[in-house]
Structures are given as C-alpha cells and as structure tokens.
C-alpha cells in the first residue's frame, strides 16, 4: 500500500509539473502575441473619397500582415488627426495642384501639414518635395533630363517643346521641325493632375495638323 501511495504521489507531482509547464508555455505564447501586436507598423492613409474604395483590399491585406492602417480625415476639423504614425501613405497630388484655386483643397493641404508636424518620425510616401516637381509635365521632363545627365543613364527624354499660347500654336509646325521633331506627335496639357483635362491626349499624325 505504501508503495502504491508513493507512486500515486509521484504521478500527481508529475501531473502538476506538466500543468505548470503548459501554463508557462501558454503565458509565453501570450507574451509573444503581445510582442507581435506591438511590432505592428502604424501607417496613416489618405486617399480622396472617390479613390479610397479601390484601396480597401490593400488595407485589409496590410492589416493582417503586420501593418495597422489608419485613415486620415483631412476634411473634418472635428476629427482629431491620428498620432503615433510610423509611416504615412498619401495621394495628395490633386489637392496640391488645385490648392491655389480651391479652398477645400487648400484646407486639406493645411490639415495634411498639421498631420506631418504631429508625426515628425513618420516616413512619408512620397515626401511632398518629391511630389511637387511631378505636377507639371514640363517640370517633370526637365527633372528627368537632369537625372539622366547627372547619372549618365543610357537613355534619353524624347524631344519635346512647350506650346504656351495661341500664337505659339499657330507656328507649332515650324517650331517642331526646327527642333528636329517629325510626326506623329503626342500632345498633352502641362498639368499632369488635378484638372479634368490632365489625362486628355491628342495624337497628331500630320505636320500641318499641329497648328
């Protein structure tokens, strides 16, 4: 009987040890889960209302792969701007392009600036100084040519000229020829975003049609 009792106590102790081990492992797993949550990158997101639905799948995927996506409301002064952001993903080009003529766009640009100041540690994608040169196609072409020249890249910007007014348009054919350009020509407005005509394009197949 004593032998059986001793064995019973030993078995009970082993069961307790196993139980304690399981409890410790469970706590460790809980700590690991907490660490994983704390490791999530908190990323602010601003897209115009009409474009935001297109990014919903991206947001849902990001939220399950280590990113916490936080929408930034730039329209409503009553909603507090988010803090603690480690990154900010935005599409501010249309607002920046029209801020000088559109009070609502100017308001959103000002609110975005406040958001940047509230999150100085955040990586901004893309930094606004890098976005501004892309608002106009003429500036974009000059910037591309500068990079090509400095980096000595093995390609070039296509020949192009800016037709700025009706008088220049009337003499466009001779101007194009003097720049060594031959039809067909691709014609787009200087504004690359922010206006309805930004994405309009005309292909001129004959030189006499350029004017």
What would the pLDDT profile of 34-65 be if each residue is shown by its tens digit? 444 457 899 999 999 889 999 999 999 999 99
In sequence order, which ranges of the chain are alpha helices (DSSP H)? Answer: 2-39, 56-63, 93-98, 103-118, 128-131, 137-151, 166-170, 172-178
Taking CA atoms, 184 is separated from 173, 175, 176, 177, in Å, by 12, 15, 11, 12
Burial of 95 (0-12, 13-18, 19+ CB in 10 A): buried
| Structure confidence at residue 133 (pLDDT) | 85
Q: Which residues pair with 136 in a beta bridge?
A: 191
Cα four-point dihedral sign 112, 114, 120, 122: negative
The answer to whether 109 and 92 have CB atoms below 8 angstroms apart is yes
Distance, CA of 93 to CA of 54 (rounded, Å)? 17
Burial of 55 (0-12, 13-18, 19+ CB in 10 A): middle
Phi, psi of 27 (to 5 degrees): -65, -40
Describe the strand order of the beta sheet including 41-46 as a list of residue ranges: 67-71, 41-46, 87-90, 123-125
| Token pair recorded at residue 93 | 């080009």
* CA 97 to chain CA centroid, nearest Å: 16
Give mean pLDDT, residues 80-90: 96
| Structure confidence at residue 205 (pLDDT) | 82
| Structure confidence at residue 207 (pLDDT) | 55
- In this prediction, residue 182 has a pLDDT band, given cuts at 50, 70 and 90, of confident
pLDDT greater than 80 at residue 6: no
Three-state DSSP class for 113?
helix
């Amino acid at each position: 009987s004593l032998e059986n009792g001793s064995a019973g106590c030993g078995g009970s102790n082993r069961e307790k040890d196993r139980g304690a081990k399981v409890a410790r492992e469970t706590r460790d797993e809980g700590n690991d889960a907490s660490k994983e949550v704390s490791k999530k990158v908190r990323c602010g997101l601003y897209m115009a209302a009409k474009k935001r639905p297109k990014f919903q799948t991206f947001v849902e995927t990001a939220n399950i792969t280590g990113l916490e996506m936080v929408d930034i409301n730039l329209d409503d002064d009553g909603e507090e701007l988010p803090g603690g952001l480690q990154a900010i993903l935005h599409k501010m080009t249309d607002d920046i392009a029209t801020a000088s003529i559109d009070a609502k766009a100017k308001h959103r640009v000002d609110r975005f600036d406040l958001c940047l100041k509230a999150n100085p540690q955040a990586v901004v994608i893309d930094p606004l100084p890098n976005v501004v040169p892309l608002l106009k196609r003429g500036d974009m072409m000059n910037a591309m040519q500068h990079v090509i020249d400095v980096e000595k890249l093995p390609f070039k910007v296509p020949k192009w000229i800016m037709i700025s007014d009706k008088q220049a348009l009337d003499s466009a054919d001779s101007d194009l020829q003097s720049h060594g350009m031959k039809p067909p020509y691709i014609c787009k407005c200087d504004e690359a975003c922010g206006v309805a005509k930004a994405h309009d394009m005309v292909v001129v197949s004959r030189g006499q049609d350029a004017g």
